[in-house]
């Protein structure tokens, strides 16, 4: 008696992955090798018409299967932001957590920011210099801008230090 045996490719049948899923995973790993991303940010990049142009399902598969440590990605992203602009602790957490910024979870943003080793007094000074390079401020106005929830979001002590040093 002869028995029929069906041959099925193991990877796609068992895991349900498609070639698109696999390509999205390759693209996700390539993106992570050059820039820090959150899970949501990476999915958005992979799905973007200006990025990978994968379907949301493929982008999600790719991002979720990279093996990325999202806390480390948040730390790397926080360092990237600090290398180009001055931030307060609160401001950097807000940037990392923002839907228009890093799109990290609040916990991931806190993890990353807490481990940057940033000197927040120095960041306040750099922010004060940035403000003064583009507009005129009185000393008290600069402190208020640095401390404002709509401005630098520094503590009063940090804002005072930064403004006095930059002024």
Distance separating alpha carbons of residues 96 and 37, to the nearest angstrom: 10
Evaluate whether 20 touches 55 at the Cβ level (below 8 Å): yes
Q: Which residue has the tokens 């049948």?
A: 13
Give the pLDDT confidence score for residue 16 in this predicted structure: 80
Distance separating alpha carbons of residues 84 and 60, to the nearest angstrom: 29
pLDDT band of residue 133 (cuts 50, 70, 90) is very high
Write out pLDDT tens, residues 47-73.
Answer: 999 999 999 999 999 999 999 999 999
Write out pLDDT tens, residues 26-51.
Answer: 999 999 999 999 999 999 999 999 99
Q: What is the mean pLDDT of the chain?
A: 92
pLDDT band of residue 15 (cuts 50, 70, 90) is low
Give the pLDDT confidence score for residue 5 in this predicted structure: 41
Distance separating alpha carbons of residues 10 and 58, to the nearest angstrom: 19
Looking at residues 82-105, what average pLDDT do you find?
96
Write out pLDDT tens, residues 150-159.
Answer: 999 999 999 9
Looking at residues 104-115, what average pLDDT do you find?
98
Residue 137 pLDDT exceeds 60 = yes
């Amino acid at each position: 008696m002869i028995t029929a045996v069906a041959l099925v490719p193991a990877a796609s049948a068992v895991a349900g992955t498609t070639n698109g899923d696999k390509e999205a995973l390759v693209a996700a790993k390539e993106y992570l090798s050059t820039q820090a991303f959150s899970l949501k940010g990476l999915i958005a990049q992979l799905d973007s018409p200006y990025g990978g142009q994968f379907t949301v399902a493929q982008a999600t598969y790719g991002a979720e299967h990279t093996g990325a440590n999202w806390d480390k990605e948040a730390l790397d992203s926080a360092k990237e932001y600090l290398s180009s602009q001055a931030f307060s602790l609160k401001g950097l957490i807000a940037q990392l957590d923002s839907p228009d910024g890093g799109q990290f979870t609040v916990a991931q943003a806190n993890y990353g920011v807490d481990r940057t080793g940033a000197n927040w007094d120095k960041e306040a000074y750099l922010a004060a210099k940035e403000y003064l390079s583009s507009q005129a401020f009185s000393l008290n106005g600069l402190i208020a801008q640095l401390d404002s929830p709509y401005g630098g979001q520094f503590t009063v002590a940090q804002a005072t230090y930064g403004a006095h040093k930059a002024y």
